[in-house]
Amino acid sequence: MTAGRTMLRVLSLFNADIRSSLEMLYQNEFSYEFDSTKFNRAFGFTPTAYAEGIRQAVAAKRR
């Protein structure tokens, strides 16, 4: 059984953690995309690929 939006609103009156969860509920209800193209151009930023980031994190942990 899951609590719907209405139930979460009622419960959020009594619990701050549920209130915070309610604010972020949209992330699970709708798909959304993040496009960083404008940021990358403005700041000359080049994102690190996941595989490379993981490799760097493991290497740093081993030091």
CA distance linking residue 21 with residue 43, whole number of Å: 32
| Predicted pLDDT of residue 29 | 80
SS (H, E, C) 31-47: CCCCCCHHHHHHHCCCC
Identify the burial level of 26 via C-beta atoms within 10 angstroms of its C-beta, where 0-12 means exposed, 13-18 middle and 19 or more buried: exposed
pLDDT digits (tens, 9 = 90+) for 3-61: 788 888 999 899 999 888 888 888 778 787 889 999 999 999 999 999 999 999 999 99
pLDDT at residue 38, as a whole number: 94
Q: Is the pTM of this model over 0.75?
A: no
- pLDDT at position 1: 60
- Any idea how long the chain is? 63
Q: State how far the Cα of 55 lies from the Cα of 61, in Å rounded to an integer.
A: 10
